Amino acid sequence: MSRYKPDRYDLCAGAIILLAVILRFAMISLGWPASYNDEGTLGLMALHIAYQGAHPLLYYGQDYLGSTEAYLGALAFHLFGPSTLTLRLSLLLLFSGFLFWIYRLATLLYSKPLAVFTLLVLAVSSPDILFRELMATGGAPDYLFFTGLLMLITAWLVLTAGQAHKVPGAMKPRLAWPRLLVYALWGLVAGLAIWSYLLCIPFVLGTAILLVIFCRHELRLPALVLLIVFLLVGTSPQIIYKITVPVSTRENSIFAGAFGGGYRQPSYPTPQGANHSRDDLAQADRADTRSAGRGDDPGERSGHDYWYRALSNSFG
């Protein structure tokens, strides 16, 4: 098997991705954009994971978002200490992955020159896109990462469906294990996409339709079984949450009551060294709950910022 040698387009794409990451790192180092209340919630989740042994299945209070960024943020906290900057480092990883998926996808479907041009457009982006890329608020960064990878896998499966991927010498036509593993990977990525953000479901359905149309002759045992099993593995946090967490009066879900969605706030002791009492923190949490839904104003941000500062100070 000949080794792949990157050409000038690949090198140019790598340089663009690197410069895009450096640009975004410079922005978050300078504190841009300003922190937002949802970012405080994600920081709180990362602190709970990193220092108090929590394992949240979903985003606190919003059971249509996964906790991918919180776990990545907890890892960054262990490596570099808790701060808004380290919380946002995981976004650079997710975004660089997204750029790589899109480059490979555009190369597969069109040409490398067009793929490089696409990277240039995405690397610069508009202010609104940059704003969403650089805030650890759950949803958007995961959405780009998982849907980009899902479309890349789907395109490869569709374009190579007519080629020979059978086991040589087999009595019956059977797919080779590398091909089966790609179907398993598709199921896992689709499941993780659904868990991370339910708005990924249209992409999952759209790519699944493409597989049914162009790869239907391959969607038999064991490929179909692997795909479904790994799809369930990816969505298992969402499924477990819906089964185990009862509906509460403080539910904040797009599935309010319809599918048993709910939210149960974890209870943790006041961190040692914090400058605020338990009653003060509870009062700030109630203030944040009352301010929810009023829009982006200082009152809405106060509760989460209060919690975040208290916990950050205790570990800082």
Domain shared by 186 and 239, yes or no: yes
Low-confidence winner among 11-20, 92-101, 159-168 (lowest mean pLDDT):
159-168
Q: Exposure of 295 by Cβ count < 10 A (0-12 exposed, 13-18 middle, 19+ buried)? A: exposed
Classify residue 155: in a domain, yes or no: yes
DSSP 33: S
Same domain for 307 and 228: no
Instruction: Report whether 200 contacts 194 (CB < 8 A).
Output: yes
Residue 293 included in any domain: yes
- 215 with 311, same domain: the answer is no
Instruction: Please indicate, yes or no, whether residues 25 and 165 belong to a single structural domain of this protein.
Output: yes
Of the residues 219, 244, 269, which one is the last residue of a structural domain? Answer: 244
pLDDT-based confidence at residue 4 (cuts at 50, 70, 90):
confident
How far is 67 from 18, CA to CA, in rounded Å?
Answer: 26
Average pLDDT of the residues in 79-88? 94
119 inside domain: yes
Co-location of 294 and 235 in the same domain: no
The answer to whether position 258 is within a domain reads no
Please count the structural domains in the chain. Answer: 2
Residue 306: domain span: 278-315
CA dist list (Å): 283 to 37, 47, 216, 258, 302: 16, 20, 57, 31, 11
**pTM of the predicted model over 0.85:** no
Residue 12 and residue 147 share a domain: yes
Find which of 19-23, 127-131, 244-248 is predicted with most confidence, using mean pLDDT.
19-23
Q: pLDDT band for position 289 (50/70/90)? A: very low
* Same domain (yes/no): 31, 179: yes
* Distance (Å, whole) CA 65 – CA 241: 12
User: According to the model, what pLDDT value does residue 215 have?
Assistant: 93
Residue 126 inside a domain? The answer is yes
Establish if 267 belongs to a structural domain: no
pLDDT > 80? residue 292: no
289 lies in the same domain as 227: no
98, 228: one domain = yes
- Residue 157 has a pLDDT of 96
* Residue 165 confidence (pLDDT) above 70: no
Going 302 to 308 to 314 to 316, the CA torsion angle's sign is: negative
**Does residue 194 register a pLDDT over 90?**
yes
Instruction: State the CB neighbour count (10 A cutoff) for residue 108.
Output: 16
Residue 226 lies in a domain: yes
Same domain, 196 and 292: no
3-state SS assignment for residue 83: coil
Using 50, 70 and 90 to split pLDDT, how confident is the model at 166?
Answer: low
How many angstroms separate the CA atoms of 106 and 6, rounded?
16
Is residue 128 in a domain? yes
Q: What is the pLDDT of residue 170?
A: 55
Say if residue 94 is in the same domain as residue 232.
yes
Query: Does 168 lie in the same domain as 286?
Result: no
